[in-house]
């Protein structure tokens, strides 16, 4: 089985952080978002190779994957033209060579049972998550047997509440790429070609795509959802702090890396702090703070702070990119 991971996007909703860090490598609970996904890939087994479809800050992504996941055979293909999800997956066709494929979009973290893949007898599996705000998503409509019939984008009426989450196993990859070729031959939709149109082609040509709900789906593609995903991961067991942390009141759950200095501060709940940061006279909750940053006399909530940042007398909710300084009034 080949694994295809498209991650070429620029992450504009998370600027300024994504000017210097690829969106899949932003950290929640002390760990890059893409690492949660790659750890799941490791556990699946029977992976003949991972194809990364790169773009923005591609060298950073490649260096991390080659170092942290050297055990997973990797190929990196740059998506020079941002022409949508179908265009991204199309780039991997020559490497797939008829093998089944697992396609994962890595701006979310999921709780999915991937152990069902080896016993799948359908043409593929589409994972979904039932949501109440179905109007915000593409939703998957199924027949009585639980197979996909169509995907409806942002419906006004509840034709389905099963959101498409960007996780797919396709056993019949030959028919998938036939569908992608067909999709790319049609007029683009605002400059993009969608992988879901290729799935519809498959269904229209007799494919059976089983729909399976995930236990959890956690978005990390914008500030508020990234911070909420940080909270969830801390609550699910990622919380930790060094035994020698002193000089601060800690309100669990938190993730504090080694080498941090905390003085006269209240940290938490739902705070992650990178290695070597110094926090003095500060109260912070619901935040992600990068490595080697300094916070002095701040009161922060719902904030995303990059690496090597200096904040002094800053209050409220804020987002500050790497290597920045912000000082409030005395």
131 pLDDT exceeds 80? Answer: yes
Fold of 240-327: UDP N-Acetylglucosamine Acyltransferase; domain 1 (2.160.10)
Mean pLDDT, rounded, of the chain = 91
Size of the chain, expressed as the number of residues it contains = 330
Q: Rounded CA gap, 209 and 214, in Å? A: 16
Share of the chain above pLDDT 70, in %: 100
Mean pLDDT, to the nearest integer, of 184-209? 90
Cβ contact 279:295 at 8 Å: yes
- Model pLDDT, residue 151: 85
pLDDT at 136 over 80: no
- Predicted confidence at residue 121, as pLDDT, reads 93
Single out the residue of 322, 311, 288 nearest to residue 27, CA to CA: 288
Q: Give residue-wise pLDDT tens across range 247-297.
A: 899 999 999 999 999 999 999 999 999 999 999 999 999 999 999 999 999
In this predicted structure, which of 186-190, 194-198, 293-297 has the lowest mean pLDDT? 186-190
| pTM strictly above 0.85 | yes
Q: pLDDT at position 21, please? A: 84
308 pLDDT tier (thresholds 50, 70, 90): very high
Return the pLDDT at 158.
75
- 160: pLDDT confidence band, cut at 50, 70 and 90? confident
Model confidence at 6, in pLDDT bands (50, 70, 90)? very high
Report residue 13's pLDDT band, with 50, 70 and 90 as the boundaries.
confident
Please give the pLDDT value at position 44.
Answer: 86
The tens digit of pLDDT for each residue in 104-125 reads: 988 889 999 898 999 999 999 9
Summarised one tens digit per residue, pLDDT across range 15-58 is 888 888 888 889 999 999 999 999 988 888 789 999 999 988 88
Query: Residue 204: its pLDDT value, please?
Result: 94
The first and second tokens of residue 181, run together, are 């070729």
List the domain boundaries for the chain: 2-219, 240-327
Q: How large is the average pLDDT for residues 211-233?
A: 91
Fold of 2-219: Spore Coat Polysaccharide Biosynthesis Protein SpsA; Chain A (3.90.550)
How many angstroms separate the most distant Cα atoms in the chain? Answer: 69
Say whether pLDDT at 167 is over 90. Answer: yes
In the predicted structure, residue 60 carries a pLDDT above the cut 80: yes
Query: What integer pLDDT is reported at residue 179 of this predicted model?
Result: 95
Strands 162-170 and 101-104 turn out to be antiparallel
pLDDT at 329: 81
pLDDT of residue 242: 85
């Amino acid at each position: 089985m080949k694994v295809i991971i498209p991650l070429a996007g620029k992450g504009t909703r998370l600027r300024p952080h994504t000017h210097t860090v690829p969106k899949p490598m932003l950290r929640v609970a002390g760990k890059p978002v893409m690492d949660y996904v790659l750890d799941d890939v490791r556990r699946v087994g029977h992976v003949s190779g991972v194809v990364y479809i790169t773009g923005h800050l591609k060298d950073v992504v490649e260096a991390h994957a080659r170092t942290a996941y050297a055990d997973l055979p990797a190929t990196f293909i740059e998506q020079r033209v941002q022409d949508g999800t179908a265009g991204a997956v199309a780039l991997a066709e020559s490497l797939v060579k008829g093998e089944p494929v697992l396609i994962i979009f890595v701006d979310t973290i999921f709780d999915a049972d991937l152990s069902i893949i080896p016993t799948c007898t359908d043409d593929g599996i589409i994972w979904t998550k039932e949501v109440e705000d179905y109007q915000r998503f593409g939703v998957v409509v199924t027949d009585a047997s639980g197979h996909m019939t169509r995907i409806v984008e942002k419906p006004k009426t509840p034709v389905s509440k099963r959101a498409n989450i960007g996780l797919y196993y396709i056993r019949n990859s030959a028919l998938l790429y036939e569908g992608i070729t067909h999709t790319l031959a049609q007029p683009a939709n605002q400059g993009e070609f969608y992988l879901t149109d290729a799935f519809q082609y498959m269904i229209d040509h007799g494919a059976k795509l089983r729909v399976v709900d995930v236990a959890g789906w956690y978005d990390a593609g914008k500030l508020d959802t990234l911070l909420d995903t940080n909270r969830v991961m801390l609550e699910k067991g990622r919380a930790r702090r060094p035994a020698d942390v002193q000089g601060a009141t800690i309100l669990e759950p938190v993730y504090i890396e080694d080498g941090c200095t905390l003085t006269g501060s209240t940290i938490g709940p739902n705070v992650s702090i990178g290695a070597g940061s110094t926090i003095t006279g500060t109260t912070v909750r619901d935040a992600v703070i990068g490595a080697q940053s300094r916070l002095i006399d701040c009161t922060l909530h719902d904030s995303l702070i990059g690496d090597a940042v200096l904040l002094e007398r800053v209050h409220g909710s804020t987002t500050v990119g790497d290597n920045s300084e912000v000082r409030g009034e005395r």
